[in-house]
Amino acid sequence: MTEISSREVNLYTPNKKYTGLIDIQNKDMRTLDLLNSSNLFWKNPNSKSFNDSIMLNDVTVMVQGNRRLSTFKKLQLRLSDIIFFSDSLNKTGSTTEIKRAETLSQKSNEKESRVKIITRMRGDTFYIISGVFFGLFKNKTQQRFMPITKSKVREILRTGTDWEINDLDVGNHFIGLSTNHIEACTMEE
């Protein structure tokens, strides 16, 4: 029987950050692959209420300004509400998978491109995200979440007639950005 592991993730929605543990079948699996999967893994499928959600365990919910809102033992979060996520992994994948990815990248002649993205406004918030991605942008946007490395995230929040700008610390500087929340982008090689 396969041992089930868990991984800490940070999931960002407008004005909120959910930090909790997700169940994973294989510790080498990337969080991006898990969240892009058509069948999300649930350790206990009978506890699933929404078809488009992920189960978090030992969850802390923070609101804008890093104020703790609440904690939950278990919480389902709808994937459609996640604007982007990050995890604490510096490297994932087995040695074989890493070599395969490097070979495919070389064969397809993937280039590194800088990207700056403006997300759609949700409530009183939108984000400006800059970073690097590899491959064809059009192909990456066909998935639920696209990988952006060396990322910098700015949260833009309307407060009455003023705008507040906050730089967010996204940990290891990798994020998975929801392609449904992209409003505009610019790229350069």
Tens-digit pLDDT profile for residues 3-16: 668 889 999 998 89
Q: Which one is predicted more confidently, 110 or 167?
A: 167
Question: Which helix (H) or strand (E) element contains residue 158?
Answer: strand 145-159
Instruction: Over range 53-59, report the average pLDDT.
Output: 91
pLDDT of 184 strictly over 50: yes
pLDDT band at 112 (very low <50, low <70, confident <90, very high): confident
pLDDT of 129 strictly over 50: yes
Record the pTM. Answer: 0.83
Instruction: Over range 112-118, report the average pLDDT.
Output: 90
Q: Is 120 helix (H, G, I), strand (E, B) or coil?
A: coil
**β-strand partners of 61:** 18, 70
Return the percentage of the chain with pLDDT > 70, whole number. Answer: 78
Residue 95 CB partners (closer than 8 Å, separation 6+): none
Question: What pLDDT is stored for residue 180 in this prediction?
Answer: 93
Structure tokens at 44: 């206990």
Contact 106, 140 (CB under 8 A): no
